[in-house]
Amino acid sequence: MVKRIGVLTSGGDAPGMNAAIRAVVRVANSANIEVYGIYDGYRGLVEGYIEPLTRSDVSDILDRGGTILGSARLPEFKDEKVQKAGIHQLKKRGIEALVVIGGDGSYRGALALSQAGINCIGLPGTIDNDISSTDFTIGFDTALHTVVEAVDKLRDTSSSHHRCSVVEVMGNRCGDLALWAGIACGAEIVVTAQTGFEETEVLERLKEFDVVKKKRHAIVIISEKITDVDAFAKKVSLNTGFSGRATVLGHVQRGGSPTPQDRVLASRMGEKAVDLLIQGIGGQCVGIKDNQIISVPIEEALDIPRSSRKKLQQLFDRLV
């Protein structure tokens, strides 16, 4: 049976990553498996920034945002030679397998290592909820809470001033944060890569909210990387009865204490990762489907097309 495993966090950090690290250490230790923390993602792996992680090292981290291991992006890790350098660092320390907590990019690294003989299990750690093999990623729920809190506040001031708040949220081409927040906040309009963006049509709809529906405010939630929200807010002021104000929520969405939902999800997923490694399984990623913790081959997971979220989008449209 595996005796020594490593854990790393990679890509954009997400609240709940610490809860996952803690679960990996505690579950592994209770099965007499030693855990090593690899700092700063694949960069730390290649550079050998690797230290033992004990039960007490992961005390008091369950409620902390960010990741105690640090995270990084290392584009060079696509190169086989760089991967081999990482494998060398693991072998030197007798680390036989790895838990990789990150998004789909990090999964690709984990797949490469698994194919090279190091069993890796991927855990979905990203606020974007953009991994199709799982209903929810670690961090999404916390980020959604942050967005909802901010939009609720923006609605207060927008109503007072007959304004339209144009709010840009993260998501990296996945519209889930925008759509879920749109439903949770009762936004007037949600724009995502999935809905597309027809500027004139959105402006016409805003006029309707003002003139026909007599709304005192309007909230437009827009996924990042679709349009310049500052420029769009100016067009709202010029073309509708609302004055437009743009807010880019930015990296505030990545921070904060994880919600109980994210803590429990991360703990369940961390447990599953260790159980798989104990069984000698690698090259898989963990997910949650219909509230059951599952695992699928990483290769398969990366191939699953993104859901169009048709039902949720229809619900949003019916609620406006």
Per CB under 6 A, the list member of 77, 140, 232, 316 interacting with ligand ADP is 77
Q: What is the pattern of x (binds ligand ADP, CB under 6 A) and - over residues 96-135? A: ------xxxxx-xx--x-------------x---------
128 is catalytic: yes
For residues 135 and 176, which CB has a smaller minimum distance to ligand F6P in the complex?
Answer: 176
Per CB under 6 A, the list member of 10, 172, 240, 259 interacting with ligand F6P is 172
Per CB under 6 A, the list member of 36, 42, 232, 242 interacting with ligand ADP is 42
244 is an interface residue for ligand F6P by CB under 6 A: no
Name the minimum Å distance from CB 14 to ligand F6P: 7
For residues 189 and 296, which CB has a smaller minimum distance to ligand ADP in the complex?
Answer: 296
For residues 173 and 216, which CB has a smaller minimum distance to ligand ADP in the complex?
Answer: 173
Rg over CA atoms, the chain: 22
For residues 89 and 146, which CB has a smaller minimum distance to ligand F6P in the complex?
Answer: 146
How many angstroms separate the first and last alpha carbons of the chain?
A: 56
Per CB under 6 A, the list member of 171, 175, 270, 282 interacting with ligand F6P is 171
Active site residues: 128
Which residues are near ligand F6P by CB under 6 A?
12, 103, 126-128, 170-172, 224, 254
